[in-house]
Amino acid sequence: MMRPILMSLLLTGMLLGMISCQKNQVISYPDGWSKGSDSGGHQSVDTSIFVIDKSMYSKARVFPGMVDPTERRVMDTTISINATFQDAGLFNQYLRISVQPQPQFSTGLWAPAGELIIIDVPADGMGLSLQIGAHTDNLTGMADLVRDPIIVSQTTLNPGRNYARNPYGGTIYVRASRSLGKIINLTFSGACAQPDFILGTTTDEAAWAAQVKRSTVPWLELRSNNFIFTLPRDKFDQFPLTNPIALMQTWDDIVNKDYYGWMGLSDTAMNDVDKAPGLPWRAVQDIQLTAGYGHSSYPIVLQNDNNWFTGITNLNTILASGNWGVLHELGHNCQMGTVWSLSSLGETSNNLFSFKYAHRKGASHASMAKLHPALPGTTGAFATGLAYAATSGFKNFNVDAAINDPFRRILPFVQLFEKTTPKGGGDGYNLMNYWYQQGRRIQRLNFDDQSKMDFIVENACDYTGQNLEKFFFQWGINVSSLATSRIRAKYPLPATVKDLWTYNPIIDTGGTRTVSGNLYVSKTAWVVNSKSSDDGSNTAAKAIDGNTGTYWQTQWSSNPAGTTHFVVIDMGATYTISGVSLNMDASRYFDYCNVYASKTTTFSGTPTYQTTSLARNNTEQVMTFASPVTCRYLKIEIPRTSGHIYTDASNTIRISEISAIY
């Protein structure tokens, strides 16, 4: 008697499951069981649908949770998988980002703990696999476990009938090892329907909310084309979601506009190098993580608490101040660590996307302070970053203690976005777009920080059509001599620049003063090695004290006609410089000047630079070498030439400041 009843149920379920669904969507959940034939290949799974593996029930109840025995199990339900996507090889070749989205497709189904799942695969479905479970962090070797280290299972799918069980249960996914270039229809039996929200498919928000309340499946997904969140269903009881359409449209826009758009990627790009991945990013909450409170990966993994949940689902909060945490982790996935993201920018360049989001939403400058509590205040990251940029001399952005903070290192990038414009006009924020587009086109990847700094600075100069060396110099982002030559061949070092490094984006002040465009070697370690003479009080050391109000004056008397004045300076270390500058005192002028640069105190007979036409005033005068010179010692020589030096009985000269220029 039982057999005819079962056969009747089977036939009814098959009829209800005939109609296929849209991309990755379940369209029917008939009740009943399939008979579990063995038309597939060899399986190491007990294929009896009436046998349940209860060995992990006690652990599954804790996490990821159990579905109620009364929850309907679907049979012969067709799921359509659009297995057309850009292959991972192209992702790796072109995108050059840390993590790429993977071909992991949602089914909207949940595998009850220990129960048999039957999957029928068509003949053209080679290259697929089944994953049960969303929580992929492998906790092996970690202490104080609150769940088992591995609770996800994967099974290769072959044409024909396939079987799978997972003793913990979990969300069911289909993965593809390659693009199949077609829609594949798979048939599932034994699973439960997850009450997923799908942007563009779920249109009745109230009906969806009611479905969430009725369901006992412990997890569900909020899905859009570009982002999928896997979240615990019980939190929707605690924090009801009434506007999922607007919420997921917002998340979709964030990825599409503030990540892909800012990176110069789109679905319709003519060039493959600029194609968006076409697969969604994923984030999942977990009870225990391999690292931190949240970490980047595919999927992004977040602690299973109310803070992350409400940050994802509270639309008002997202519209007001974004979601630093999720954008931070997605930013990690999108970093170009082999192109321009320096070793010191690991926790910095990923955060720039939050500023792009705020900019797109028209946020005020003051509201930048709300993006993260570390940014504002007199002792906050931006204030201390400004203090670092204001200091003079040589600095190192990667190692200096005064800038060794991920939030301080954000500031120079925001300054560029806010205060520069492309040479053709437009928005300074598109500099990020330019870095990413050029980064996908370079012939060789950059694995060292110097190459990355060269890339950042050269492309910023190309984007703006300006020489920005001074700006980056103030931040300790120093380019190589080769990059310097390339930049200055296109954009000569300007005499004056705007002090963009003083701009505070939170209060929207600074960055408007006109200052010297020269890049000076720090004089902290400079000493006078030797000199021709001085007058006793105005010593040669005053020519290198950084104060143009003081001066070196040579001996006041007993300087016979033809006397050559000189000073030899030890810079304390070896530098590669492009020239020197000096300020003279117009009351003791000179027209002729020879400059020698050497690694030792022995100077060649030919000057590194020679001029006969210095201006007779006290303004800074730059003497640029024919090519950069690596040196430690400088010799400034003023020959006594009739008619070209201040002439009285003393034959003396004055220099108020000598500087070396990178």
Instruction: Summarize pLDDT for 289-322 with one digit per residue, the tens.
Output: 999 999 999 999 999 999 999 999 999 999 998 9
Residue 25, pLDDT score: 43
DSSP strand E in 488-592: where? 496-498, 514-516, 527-531, 552-553, 565-584
Residue 43, pLDDT score: 46
Reduced to 3 states (helix: H, G, I; strand: E, B; else coil), residue 371 is: coil
CA 357/CA 605 separation, integer angstroms:
60
What is the average per-residue pLDDT within 635-640?
Answer: 90
For 268, the token pair is 């319709």
Q: Worst-scoring range by mean pLDDT, 35-39, 51-55, 148-152, 510-514? A: 35-39
What is the average per-residue pLDDT within 341-357?
Answer: 98
The closest alpha carbon to 178, from 126, 122, 242, 100, belongs to: 126
Q: Which residues contact 602 (CB under 8 A, 6 or more apart)?
A: none
| pLDDT at 627 exceeding the cut of 60 | yes
**Whole-number percent of the chain with pLDDT over 70:** 90
* 416 in Cβ contact with 404 (< 8 Å): no
Please tell me what DSSP assigns to residue 273. G
| pLDDT at 256 exceeding the cut of 90 | yes
The tens digit of pLDDT for each residue in 105-140 reads 999 999 999 999 999 999 999 999 999 999 999 999
| pLDDT at 68 exceeding the cut of 80 | yes
* 644 in Cβ contact with 591 (< 8 Å): yes
In 10 A of CB 309, how many CB atoms? Answer: 21
What is the average per-residue pLDDT within 361-367?
Answer: 92
> Who wins on pLDDT, 274 or 481?
274
Kindly list the domain boundaries of the chain, sorted by start residue: 2-302, 335-516, 527-661
Q: Worst-scoring range by mean pLDDT, 2-6, 96-100, 217-221? A: 2-6
Q: Which residues contact 514 (CB under 8 A, 6 or more apart)?
A: 496, 497, 498, 499
| pLDDT at 6 exceeding the cut of 60 | no
What is the average per-residue pLDDT within 495-505?
Answer: 96
β-strand partners of 631: 575
335-516 fold: Neutral Protease; domain 2 (1.10.390)
What is the average per-residue pLDDT within 207-232?
Answer: 98
Query: pLDDT band at 524, cuts 50/70/90?
Result: confident
What is the average per-residue pLDDT within 204-218?
Answer: 98
CA 335/CA 322 separation, integer angstroms:
19
Locate tokens 């008619």: which residue? 643
Determine the angle formed by the axes of helices 449-464 and 481-490, rounding to 10 degrees.
Answer: 10
Query: pLDDT band at 548, cuts 50/70/90?
Result: confident
42 CB-contact burial (10 Å; exposed 0-12 / middle 13-18 / buried 19+): exposed
Q: Which residues contact 427 (CB under 8 A, 6 or more apart)?
A: 421
CA 107/CA 104 separation, integer angstroms:
10
**Whole-number percent of the chain with pLDDT over 90:** 78
Residue 535, pLDDT score: 86
CA 74/CA 78 separation, integer angstroms:
10
Could you tell me how far CA 322 lies from the centroid of its own chain?
A: 16
In 10 A of CB 269, how many CB atoms? Answer: 13
Please tell me what DSSP assigns to residue 590. B
What is the average per-residue pLDDT within 249-261?
Answer: 98
| pLDDT at 39 exceeding the cut of 50 | no
* 283 in Cβ contact with 135 (< 8 Å): no
Pick the CATH number of 527-661 from 3.40.50.1000, 3.40.640.10, 1.10.1740.10, 2.60.120.260: 2.60.120.260
| pLDDT at 394 exceeding the cut of 50 | yes
Residue 437, pLDDT score: 98
CA 298/CA 101 separation, integer angstroms:
7
Average pLDDT, rounded, for the chain: 90
What is the average per-residue pLDDT within 552-575?
Answer: 84
CA 66/CA 75 separation, integer angstroms:
20
pTM over the 0.75 mark: yes
C-alpha to C-alpha distances, 513 to 503, 516, 522, 523, nearest whole angstrom: 10, 10, 22, 24
For 24, the token pair is 């990755």
* Cis peptide bond upstream of 299, omega within 30: yes
Q: Which residues contact 509 (CB under 8 A, 6 or more apart)?
A: 503
C-alpha to C-alpha distances, 438 to 117, 392, 431, nearest whole angstrom: 48, 32, 11
CATH superfamily of 2-302: Peptidase M60, enhancin-like domain 2 (3.40.390.80)
CA 265/CA 257 separation, integer angstroms:
9
What share of residues in the chain are helix, strand, coil (percent, to 5)? 30, 25, 50
β-strand partners of 197: 222
CA 579/CA 621 separation, integer angstroms:
11
Q: What is the Cα gyration radius of the chain?
A: 34
According to DSSP, the β-strands at 281-286 and 227-232 are: parallel
